[in-house]
Amino acid sequence: MEGLKMASEDWLSSYKKRRPILSLRQPETTSLVRATSFNADNVGQFYNNLEEVLRRYKFEGHQVWNVDETGLTTIQKRSKILAEKGKKQIGRVTSGEKGATVTMELAAVVEMPSEISYHLSCIFPQVHFKPHFIRQGSTDCTGAAHPNGWITGSIFHQFMEHFHKHVPSSVDSPTLLLLDNHISHLSSSILDYCKQNLIVLVSFLPHTSHHLQPLDFGPLKKYYYTACSNWMNSHLVCQYPSMISPRLPGKLLQMLLLPGTFESRRRNQRGKKTLKTAAPKRKLQSSASEGSGKEAHKNQKKKRQQLAARKTDSSDDEEDSLCIVCLEAFSNSESGEEWIQCRACKKWAHVHCGGDDPLYTCVHCSSDIC
């Protein structure tokens, strides 16, 4: 329309001064499904279900628990720091370029205005769970493993058993759990287990938990990333042995500092494929083809030379080879037990610890810790 002009910055500044309740804020991304699902009908239906359950079982405050999951990455997020004005590049040390995400399942209840009880389960992106993953953790913490670090129905069932162990329910004292309707929470085995143990489940309607779920992970993540940054600032591990020796347990220190502990028993064959063997000091079986004719003859000659060089090494070093996951010595391994070599650092691990991936990379190399 003619005569209309665009508002200037001065007009916007004056408008904000006249209305002090307004401020410029960064909005959170909300999908269209969430925006349309959060309506009066869905919210009213949830509160009607909650009211009916509270009236039937007469729950008290300490019997109402909230359950939710979130992901914590091993690379801490950036936070603001004090720096000189005008400086363009400001860096902060992290444990690597790309980290792994650990899923955390948390159940919490507010028993007192300043007291919160919780029970925690961490799902690590590993094939097999090891007890040292949650070493020095509280008794309220348990752990599990999944190749992708995701929660599944079986893992949530383990969490429910852990929860019921610490929060027993009875006919006189049932327990109420508020949770979202993720597929891992709604399996028949979990519903039957909760019914047998008098655990009442009330789920939020689809795509409404971003407003209805009272369990907020924002403060937890803030303190977690702050703790990671503080630890990195005081434990800059760049080279060993002298810098890390006072901070590592005995077995891990022995694993890092023993000469020849993780010597490569055989170079990778053509194609850079990872080699597997029944034990690190035994004859390796390459999955790559060795060719034919002159090339095969050269490979055989090279093998004989390497075998002769290996015989000159100290047998003690081979006996002290340790799995980089469980730290078990090779001398304690069973006959015929398979080991696999990391294609990056050439260190060894049990197949049942590291997995059977032909391009296996250990967690230390994949996360770029050092």
**129-155 tens-digit pLDDT:** 888 888 777 777 889 998 888 889 999
How far is the C-alpha of 57 from the C-alpha of 50, rounded, in Å?
Answer: 11
Residue intervals of the chain classified under CATH 3.30.420 are 36-78+94-234
% of the chain surpassing 70 pLDDT: 73
Q: Average pLDDT for residues 262-286, to the nearest whole number?
A: 41
**This prediction's pTM:** 0.56
pLDDT at position 274: 45
30-34, 353-357, 365-369, range with greatest mean pLDDT:
30-34
pLDDT at position 181: 85
pLDDT at 88 over 70: yes
pLDDT at position 304: 67
pLDDT 10s digits, 6-61: 888 898 889 989 998 988 888 888 888 888 888 999 899 999 999 999 999 989 88
pLDDT at position 131: 85
Q: Average pLDDT for residues 355-359, to the nearest whole number?
A: 76
Neighbour count for residue 274 (Cβ, 10 Å): 20
Structure tokens at 313: 């090494």
pLDDT at position 34: 86
Contact 181, 148 (CB under 8 A): no
Contact 341, 347 (CB under 8 A): yes
| Contact partners, residue 110, CB within 8 Å, separation at least 6 | 61, 116
At 307, the pLDDT band (50, 70, 90 cuts) reads low
2-6, 106-110, 200-204, 301-305, range with greatest mean pLDDT:
200-204
Closest CA to 343 of 263, 260, 273: 273
Higher pLDDT, 67 or 344: 67
36-78+94-234 CATH, one of 3.40.390, 3.30.70, 1.25.40, 3.30.420 = 3.30.420
pLDDT 10s digits, 64-74: 999 988 888 88
pLDDT at 275 over 60: no
Q: Average pLDDT for residues 109-138, to the nearest whole number?
A: 79
pLDDT at position 196: 92
Higher pLDDT, 227 or 175: 175
Mean of the per-residue pLDDT values of the chain: 75
Which of 100-104, 268-272, 342-346 is the least confident region? 268-272
Closest CA to 364 of 344, 340, 339, 336: 344
